[in-house]
Amino acid sequence: MVQDWSSRISIGRGRPLPFGVSEWGTGANFAVYAKESEHMTLVLYPSSTRNRRLEVDVSDASQKGSKASIEVGKRRLELKLDKKLNRTGRIWHVLVSPYMEGFEYMWKVGRDEDINPKWGTNLALDPYAMVLRTPMGPKSFNQHNPETFRPHAVIPRRKFLEFDWKEIPAPKIPMKELVIYEMHVRGFTMNRASHVKAPGTFLGVVEKIPYLRDLGVNCVEFLPIFEFNEAEWSKKNPVTGAKLAQSWGYSTLHFMSPMNRYALEAGELTAADEFRIMVRELHRAGIEVWLDVVFNHTAEFGDSGLPPGYFGMKALGLDTYYMRTPDGKYRDYSGCGNTLNANNTVVAEFIHNCIRYWVHEMGVDGFRFDLAAALTRDPDGRPMESPPLIERLSKDPTLRDTKLVAEAWDCAGLYLVGSFPHYGVWGEWNGKYRDSIRSFVRGNPGSKGEFAGRICGSADLYSKGRKPYH
């Protein structure tokens, strides 16, 4: 049961690691990276708006005797952190007791009077939040107003990461034996012809496992399943007038939480549970689970400002998270207005932690990295021979059984098919194979020779100690 604002809350110094929300004793530790050095506020949102007063104690001995109170009817409690006590390096942290399962929270970065007019807000999502409050369930898909889309982070239930995998092992199928089925979670079962009880959801995929087995599939690669705003653009079909949706999910707004509209139950904590059920049952059937991940950009736009929804990376560390020119313009190697600064130490650690989370807590077997060439660029956009992010993912001993596959190009002309820095670990989506097959099928003159070379494994690309099934 979710606690309400009548509880007595204690505030302590907290600790800088781990990032996000973690259980610590009877309370919750909050930790977030931010370049802001003076003013940082943790904003808690109640589960009930009954007009009660809340006593707030500061339990840290150095702040003994300090108290604050608020009217609960204001619908939020703001905890302004002390830079001397609640900041270690560039990590802000605070311990809040008791552990308020189900409460929502945001970070307020800086002072209200200093808000960037292009952004219109200084509220930021915690990049490490494992649960978001957004519209829930498949019937909510594309039903919200994009102008009022306001995701909040949620304090997860205790022992959130515990899950009954029923001791079902991951299939660990050799790369050369994989038969990969690329799939969109909603699109796969949303049509009535699928004949499932849970259309458009993770559990709907579970119902279709016999169909996948009949096809001979032993690996499913899901188009992006991280939280995104499918109503990001308010456009209509010019012929029918129907409201259009950005349904593929390549405009990621959060990398640690699965899409709530892909969960069957309309509850705050179900998307991760249902995703893990799906993974477990696919594994039971001998089918690996891969994710198409988009770490080359975010949904926060570029020079045009912020989309509705204050997602937060711009506020937490604009020049940390994004590549920018000396005059402040966003470098756009993704074709989407911004490019994540993937080889910045903080960002590389974040992406690495995301991959670890989806492998070790959510059971994922492999990843296809969208526009992965962008992840090889330095903060000034120059290609790197040994990109720190790619190297750390390649050399992580806990990821040695995890398949890593690069879409080895980006939208600014960096084409690394056959030359992606693979460290003996990474595979590539062979774009030249795709292009050659298309050319041959169209009957283009002179396409036979290259077609034969691609069918035989592209020795011109992968002859130096690599295999064609890489």
Chain-centre distance of CA 367, in angstroms? 13
Which residues, in sequence order, are bridge partners of residue 97? 10
Task: State in Å, rounded, how far the first CA of the chain is from the last one.
Answer: 49
Identify whether the C-beta of residue 46 lies closer than 8 Å to the C-beta of residue 77. yes
Q: Are 106 and 153 in contact (CB under 8 A)?
A: yes
Tokens coding 107: 């970070």
Supply φ then ψ for residue 246, to 5 degrees. -90, 80
Q: Which tokens belong to 147?
A: 């102008």
Confirm whether 370 is a catalytic residue: yes
Other C-beta atoms lying within 10 Å of the C-beta of residue 298 = 26
Catalytic residue among 407, 410, 428, 450: 407
Task: Note whether 102 and 72 are within 8 A (CB).
Answer: no
CA–CA dist 95, 28 (Å, integer): 6
Q: Which of 370, 410, 428, 450 is catalytic?
A: 370
C-alpha to C-alpha distance for 68 and 303, rounded to whole angstroms:
39
| Token representation of residue 71 | 């009217």
Cα–Cα nearest to 11, from 75, 76, 71, 61:
61
Is 428 marked active-site? no
Report H helices in 106-208. Answer: 185-189, 202-207
Which CA distances in Å does 45 have to 26, 119, 248, 355, 384? 19, 22, 31, 29, 44
Q: Report which DSSP code applies to 369.
A: E
Among 335, 331, 341, 337, smallest CA distance to 305 is for 337
- Kindly report the length of the chain: 470
Task: Give the span between the Cα atoms of 260 and 226, in whole angstroms.
Answer: 9
200 contacts 262 by C-beta, under 8 angstroms: yes
Do the Cβ atoms of 412 and 332 come closer than 8 Å?
A: yes
Q: Give, for 418, the enclosing helix (H) or strand (E).
A: none
List residues with catalytic annotation.
370, 407
